[in-house]
Structures are given as structure tokens and as C-alpha cells.
Homo-oligomer: A and B are copies of this chain.
């Protein structure tokens, strides 16, 4: 019975996700779903990314949080249109929430929408929102065992960002093991090492995004 209900909810979500996907395709907008644990550094990475790409392409951001507009306020400082979704305790964004957020966004001539999901390494991976691709951010301080412990989110993501790489010397994180586990779970996944404080790997991340945007346009 419980399974039945969950299936129905997911079925409804997938229907709306399909509508979102058609909408984005019609306008040739590329959409990235940015996921990761609380405190993995998603918002800071997003701020750094906007600083580098917002003069080259037209970007908007959808911010998902349980409560508060703290992250949306940070994004607004970068002069990028941003819509805040508050899930009121909900542990992930779903396709209907994103569809509703689009009503508050001027999507004319937009090239890219970055959707920052709720901080959670489990539930967001289960819900298609109609994005073109998913990126998961894993902070070095979280430990190298996370890919095997939370495989779905890494399996679903085209890019895995190993963030806060500057803190590597202060942890026992095994980069080789993490890379091997990621590749086992998701052969072909693109693995980047970034630090927002030391400005490491950010150009590589931005170039991957710009390539995806260009693929959608062509």
C-alpha cells in the first residue's frame, strides 16, 4: 500500500518533470540540478560560478531551502534573477515546485537555469525536475566513504564536484579511493576537484557548464 502511494506520487512528479523538460527545450534553456549535503558548499560554488559565467550567458537561479531566503539573498547580490522555493520542511525539490517557480521567472532569452536543491544526499536524487543534467557536490570534509554509502545521487549525476579540496591535508580523505568508487558507481562520471577559497578548479567547472549550454543551443 505504501509502495503504491509512493509510485503514484513519483508518477505525478515525472509527468510534470516532462512538462518542465518540454518547456525548457522549447526555449533552448539548459537546466542544471545542483545537489549535495548541507554544507557541502553548493551556494558558494554557485556564487563563484555566477561570477565567471554571468557576463557570457544569461543565467537565472532557483533556490530550494526548507526555510529562510538566506541563499537567495546571497545570489541576489550577484545581480542574477533568483526565485526562492521554501519547502516548509520538505527534504527535496520536486517538479511541481520548479514549475511553480518558473511563473516568477522571466525566461525570455535565458540560457541557463541553475536549481540549487535542498541540502540532502538522499531524497533530491529521487525526483526528476525536468533538468538537463545533475551535479553533486561532495565536500572533502564529508569523507571518502560517501559515494558507496549514498550511491543513487552519484549514479544520477553527470558531474561530481569534490569541493573544499584545500582542506584535504587536514582530513584522511582518500582521493584515489573516492575516484575509484565514483567510477564504479557511475562509469564516465566527470570528477572535478574544486576549492572556492583557493579558486581551484572553478574554470574547469564553468567550462563544463558552458559546454552543456552550448549543446542545448545547437
User: What is the interface of chain A, defined by CB distance below 8 A to chain B?
Assistant: 2, 5, 9, 37-40, 65-68, 70, 89, 91, 118-123, 126, 139, 141-143, 145-146, 148-152, 164, 166-167, 170
Contact = CB atoms under 8 A, between A and B. Distances in A.
Copies of this chain, complex-wide, total 2
Contact of A141 (B70, B120, B167): B167
B91 A142 contact: no
Nearest to A90: B122
Contact of A120 (B2, B65, B120, B152): B120
Given A143-B39, A170-B167, A123 B121 contact: no
B68 A148 contact: yes
A146 B66 CA distance: 11
Contact of A142 (B38, B146, B151): B38
A117 to B, nearest CB: 12
B121 A38 contact: yes
A146 B5 contact: no
